Amino acid sequence: MSASGCGCRYFSLWNSSLLAVFLALFSALYSFLDARLDQFYIFYPKHLHDLSQYTIKTYSEDTGSIINFIVAELQEKISEKYLSTEEEWVFNNASGAIGAMYSVYHSR
């Protein structure tokens, strides 16, 4: 038999089948984990939105009180291992806009 005979087609069919099985298993695992993604969240967007809206309404002009209230509220609801206990500020200058953020949570 020549090199382009039946053996090469079998090898190529075997590789294609193996690749198809791998992709099917990977797709199934990805779909399974993606459907349960919200179980891995520490913060929930609706809770953060409601908390920030209430806090801004209550302490509209006092930034220090806003930050203190939000941090205290999060410390009651969330384990302290996820929250920063020190005041850490991040200053940013991007495209001419200068801003500062108080870092409540950051991953390592």
Q: What is the mean pLDDT of residues 68-79?
A: 86
Amino acid at 73: E
> How far is 77 from 80, CA to CA, in rounded Å?
9
> Counting Cβ atoms within 10 Å, is residue 83 exposed (0-12), middle (13-18) or buried (19+)?
middle
For the CA atoms of 6, 7, 9, 13, what is the dihedral angle to 10 degrees? 130
For the whole model, what pTM was predicted?
0.55
Q: What is the arithmetic mean of pLDDT over 14-20?
A: 88
pLDDT in tens, 50-59: 999 999 999 9
Mean pLDDT of 46-67: 91
Q: Give the residue extent of every domain in the chain.
A: 6-40, 45-102
